[in-house]
Amino acid sequence: MKQAFLVFLGGGFGSVLRFLISKPMNALSQNFFVGTFLVNIIGCLLIGFVLGLSSKGNVLSYNNTLFLATGFCGGFTTFSAFAFEKHHFLKNGDFLNLAIYMVSSIIVGVLAVILGLWLSKQMG
């Protein structure tokens, strides 16, 4: 039960932070959803970093990993919003931005996870 609470708490913090970052940035960026894109990339970087630290064995406990990776990063990243926003591009026939956004989100997201793993290795 304690572990479920840690995931719940981390998810709450992540969701609120996602809202505080993505809502104003999406409003400024017109139709490209820069806020969602940024949150997804930061989330990928963070989960790579957290899981990299966790794999070291003595840096993060299992409960800390649950709170940060499963909870916080799970609440913070927005791939359900990512999928929904692609519908906006499709509905408007904006296939170029649809392709750019989808491909760049996936490629930059994977690269951010790799960078997070690399950064965690540099810490000792």
The pLDDT tens digits of the residues spanning 54-76 come to 988 788 999 999 999 999 999 99
pTM for the predicted model, two decimal places: 0.82
What percent of the chain is predicted at pLDDT more than 70?
99
Domain that holds residue 83: 2-121
CA 104 to CA 46: how far, in whole Å? 18
Q: Is the dihedral of CA 43, 48, 53, 57 positive or negative?
A: positive
* Helix (H) / strand (E) containing 61: none
The pLDDT tens digits of the residues spanning 21-39 come to 999 999 998 778 999 999 9
Tokens of 45: 């970087």
CA 111 to CA 122: how far, in whole Å? 17
What percent of the chain is predicted at pLDDT more than 90?
81
Q: How many domains does the chain have?
A: 1
Alpha helices in the chain (DSSP H): 2-28, 34-55, 62-65, 74-76, 79-91, 95-121
